[in-house]
Structure 1
Amino acid sequence: MDQFRGLFAKLDQNEDGFISVSELKDEMRKHGILSADGKVQNIVDSYDNDKDGLLDYKEFLSYMMDRERKWKIHFHDLDKNKCGEIDQEDIICLFKELGVVISKPNAKKIIQMMDKDSSMTVDWGEFLHYVILNPVDNIGELVSSWKHSLVGSSGATLSGDILC
């Protein structure tokens, strides 16, 4: 899959043909993912078939394909009106399903975290780009990371929002 070849090259900072735990952690930190240490080790341990502590391209591709399959299902679940995009209303609905009230401005901030073309919607490509290096394993963890990002960015609790 050529779409992952460029990402592999970007992650392979020392250009040795492998991705190490530290290279993967560094890239995640650049994307604002700070609490990934244990998960990064688990990723490498799970996909490192030859147990050399590194991911070659084939091992990395296996990880990426698994992530893509898993998150495609979640994307379709999030896209309530089945239009091929996630919008603020989809985010509000997701939070409501999880028993959390979120304001429109905060739903907008979540969309903006993923929205690369400023359309105020998130298509599959944008969503995949956002979650592919985020080591969350399910929607609940993704929502928790969004809540953490919103609280962390404001330095306070979310005005008008109830966080569980």
Structure 2
Amino acid sequence: MPEGRGSTMHGVMPPHYLHELPAEDEKRFEKIFQKLDLDGNGRIDVKDLSKALRKVGVDKYYAEKFLARSDSTKSGDITLAEFIHYVREHEKNLRLQFSHLDKNKDGKIDLEELIKAFEELGIKMDYNEAKKLLQRMDKDGSLTISFNEWRDFLLYAPSTDLLGLIEYWHHTNVSN
């Protein structure tokens, strides 16, 4: 059994963890967790999270929200087990929202789809503003957003509904 599977330093794994988590996801989650656990104590508290997220342009408000939503034991910090459990659920919601925006089902969100999504939410957005927003998330310069780009950018968003995700996206833009 790979190291770290089935138990944690400070918490109990959710029972479904062992059966459902592919090894590459486990590694990805552990890497993200280690980046956020700045003092290396095996737990992420609001100080760790605020400092780490500030580096990627995420406001302290979102760090506090993320911590509150992922801290299932209400201990004031999160263990790797809590982090993985929360992030897996959050990624399922992100996948759902991504699918909703990807109208032509090509696995990418393009400018037209983005502008249409804003219109559906009653938000008027011109082409240049939408392009700037898309470019913040678009890591490969394709002018489209893959699910991985979407997931990685919105990982710390405390919301799961589309309007909340877009507010977070817009807000992280402004604060960068």
Scaled by the length of structure 1, the TM-score of the pair is 0.82
Deviation, structure 1 residue 40: 3.5
Which structure has greater strand proportion? 2
Report if aligned partners of 2:67, 2:78 keep a CA contact under 8 Å in 1.
no
Instruction: Spell out, residue by residue over 1:137-161, the C-alpha distance to the aligned partner (whole angstroms, 9 max, x if none).
Output: 32111222344456x47xxxxxxxx
Q: Give 1:43's aligned amino acid.
A: R
Which one-letter code corresponds to 1:69 in the other structure? K
* 2:30 is the counterpart of 1:5: yes
Corresponding position of 2:139: 116
Residue of structure 2 equivalent to 1:21: 46
5+ residue gaps in structure 1?
Answer: 154-164
Taking a change above 3 Å as real, the CA distance of residues 43 and 25 of structure 1, as seen in their structure-2 partners, is farther
Change (3 A) 1:147 1:58: closer
Tell me the CA shift for residue 37 of structure 1: 5.2
Residue by residue over 1:8-56, the C-alpha shift from the partner in whole angstroms, topping out at 9 and shown as x without a partner, is 11001011111112211222222222232541342244x2x3x432211
- Corresponding residue SS for 1:19: strand
Tell me which of 51, 66, 81 is aligned to 1:40.
66
Name the amino acid aligned to 1:106. E
For structure 2, the residue ranges without an aligned partner over 5 or more in a row are 1-25
CA distance in structure 1 between the aligned counterparts of 2:171 and 2:78, rounded to whole angstroms = 29
Number of equivalent positions: 149
The share of aligned pairs that are identical, in percent, is 34
Question: Does the aligned pair in 1 maintain the 2:66–2:156 contact within 8 Å?
Answer: no
Q: Match for residue 52 of structure 1? A: 75
Secondary structure of 2:99's aligned partner: helix
Map 1:140-159; keep pairs closer than 5 Å: 140-148=163-171, 152=174
CA contact (8 A) 1:28 1:134 kept: no
Partner residue of 2:56? Answer: 31
How far apart, CA to CA, are the structure 2 residues paired with 1:99 and 1:89?
15
Work out whether residues 20 and 55 of structure 1, in 8 Å CA contact, stay in contact via their aligned partners in 2: yes
Instruction: Identify which range, 4-13 or 139-148, moves more after superposition.
Output: 139-148
RMSD: 1.9
Distance in 2 of aligned mates of 1:148 and 1:52: 28
Q: 1:135 aligned to 137, 140, 158, which one?
A: 158
Q: What is the TM-score with the length of structure 2 in the denominator?
A: 0.76
2:49 maps to amino acid: L
